[in-house]
Amino acid sequence: MLEDYSFAKPAPWEVIVVDDGSTQPLPVGLRYWRPPFTFRIMQQLPMGIAAARNAGMRSATGDIILFTDSDCLLEPDCLSELARFAAAFPDDEAFQLALRGADDHLVGCIEGLRLCATQEILRMANGHLCYVNTSGFAVRRHYAMQKTEFFNVGAIRGADTYALAVLCEDGLLPRFIPTAQVKHRPPLTPYAYLFKHFFIGYHTSPARRKLSQSGNVIMQWAQRKRVLSAAWHDASERPFKQLAFFFLLVAYAFELCGRVAYSFLGMHPGKVELFGVDLDCLHAIELQARVLSAAHFGHSKCVTYLTAWSLVQLQRNSEFRSDLNRFDICYADGMGVVLSLWLLRRRRIRKVTANDFFFDLCRKAAQQQLRIALIGAEKWVLDRACKKLTALIPPHCLVLSSSGYLSEPEEEALVKKLVETRPHLVFVGMGQPLQERFVLKLRATVPKAVFFCVGGLFDYIAGLSPAPPGIIRRFGLEWLFRLMHSPRRLWKRYILGIPLLGGYIMREYVTHLRSFLTFPGIKLSSNDSF
């Protein structure tokens, strides 16, 4: 997009390109391009488009931050019109540019019909718009930086809708700028465009639910009909556009199918109670982004996990349950938790395992110049883990490593080291429930750190616990692989733990059934059975 512009004089703006882990090399011309304005390329490991936008926004210095995509082209007067509207309406915090499609190919024409009709119908009489599309969206920096995450890192798609929900919660809507035009030309085939809309419908369902809770601005069926009517009115003049309108109808049908599929198969975000513990429904990328964001801003956060054995332990250990509920994030690390939640709450959740992303998380932290500490395991095991880690990140990023087997004087010395080194990210691997108790005790001494409980991760990194094959992990049989590898150490956890967990699930079912069968005027005694 940038190479399509020509500049006669220095321009008073900066351009930041954020590469979200692309596997393709940067174009040679862009790599050595020297434009007459500030130009930076930021590269990050894959964390999603929302995390990339948040990172670019934190790096920006201008008063107005404009977001656009790599398949968009800003018209010549676009930036000057944005500056003019921003000066004319100082009370507006956000601005939506006018999006147009490229009529030189079918998908561009489909997008043109959709975007023009949507903006026309959702435009309000006061000049605001009930719509956000970051192909051409601007926000004032002072407002956006008040938010820890302006764009929701948990959104695979629908980050734009989440941004609109944030604005609605503050009683704001973006001002529409019809004279600042952005041409959208997605490099897709018509059939790829249709399947893309299926996944848009699937992945944006949580964002739509959030928007419906933030204000009555979500597009209703009556508005959708008006959008289609306006699109047909635009398409009726040319046969090529009539074909594009047909594909637009099919695309909306695919999007609706995606929403229906999500209602049956999707993972609903937020917290859900399981055996008295608040469990977070999130995926691995979202977990990493939230950890890194908290570490970057110096926000205290404690992270731990639930396994099937954790569920068994907390049945007779109320202190452990209380400790888990004091953590900011508690995610599902095991198929036993996934199945328990489905059987008891009919909620789908993804299994997240720190083994899968630990090295990536540390590399992302090192990219942001964050300091890392490792606490846990025996000294020789931890030394091997540190050696592997420092082969991937700069050694100065690992500021502290300590065994988890500590006497009281050694624990006091460790606290002093933590206060001196001030790590942003502390991984604690001591096993449950010891590590949770230890983290809650340390939290006050390092109030700006993120503590991440990782159990036996250091043994895995050091090579003491082999990784199960991919096909075993796909079917959720890691527990069987570990049991076969270490039967003496793990027999209690799996041979006894799995039947016990099944019994606890049945007990929950009986409790719910008793509640369901207890009608007014009918009281079941404790001796009643079913």
Q: What is the pLDDT along the chain (530 residues), one digit of tens a residue?
A: 555 555 555 667 888 888 887 777 666 666 666 777 778 888 777 778 888 898 888 888 889 999 998 888 898 889 899 999 999 999 999 999 999 988 888 998 999 999 999 999 999 999 999 999 999 999 999 999 888 788 888 777 888 888 998 899 888 999 999 999 999 888 889 899 999 999 999 988 888 888 887 766 777 888 889 999 999 988 887 888 899 999 999 999 999 999 999 988 888 888 999 999 999 999 898 899 899 989 988 899 999 999 999 999 998 899 999 999 999 999 999 889 999 999 988 888 989 999 889 999 999 999 889 999 999 889 999 999 999 999 999 999 999 999 988 888 888 999 999 999 999 999 999 989 999 999 999 898 898 899 999 988 998 888 887 777 777 777 777 777 777 877 777 778 888 888 888 898 888 888 777 666 664 544 444 444 32
Q: Do residues 423 and 372 make contact, with C-beta atoms less than 8 angstroms apart? A: yes
Instruction: Count Cβ atoms below 10 Å from residue 52 Cβ, excluding itself.
Output: 21
| Distance, CA of 517 to CA of 387 (rounded, Å) | 60
Tell the residue number behind the tokens 């977001």, with chain if given.
67
CATH 3.80.10 assigned to 272-461: no
At 142, list the tokens.
């002072």
Residue type, 195: F
Nearest to 186 by CA among 287, 278, 70, 19: 70
Q: What are phi and psi of 115, to 5 degrees?
A: -70, -45
**CA 252/CA 259 separation, integer angstroms:** 11
Contact 75, 183 (CB under 8 A): yes
User: Residue 211: enclosing H or E segment and its boundaries?
Assistant: helix 205-214
Produce one character per residue of 341-369: b if its CB has 16 or more CB atoms within 10 Å, e if not: beebeebebebbbbbebbebbbbbbbbbe
Top-level CATH class of 2-187?
alpha beta
- Using alpha carbons, select from 354, 335, 364 the residue that is nearest to residue 465: 354
Q: Output the six-digit token pair for 10.
A: 């220095």
**Contact present, 174 and 94 (Cβ < 8 Å):** yes
The domains of the chain are located at: 2-187, 272-461
Amino acid identity, position 253: A
Predicted pLDDT at 30: 65
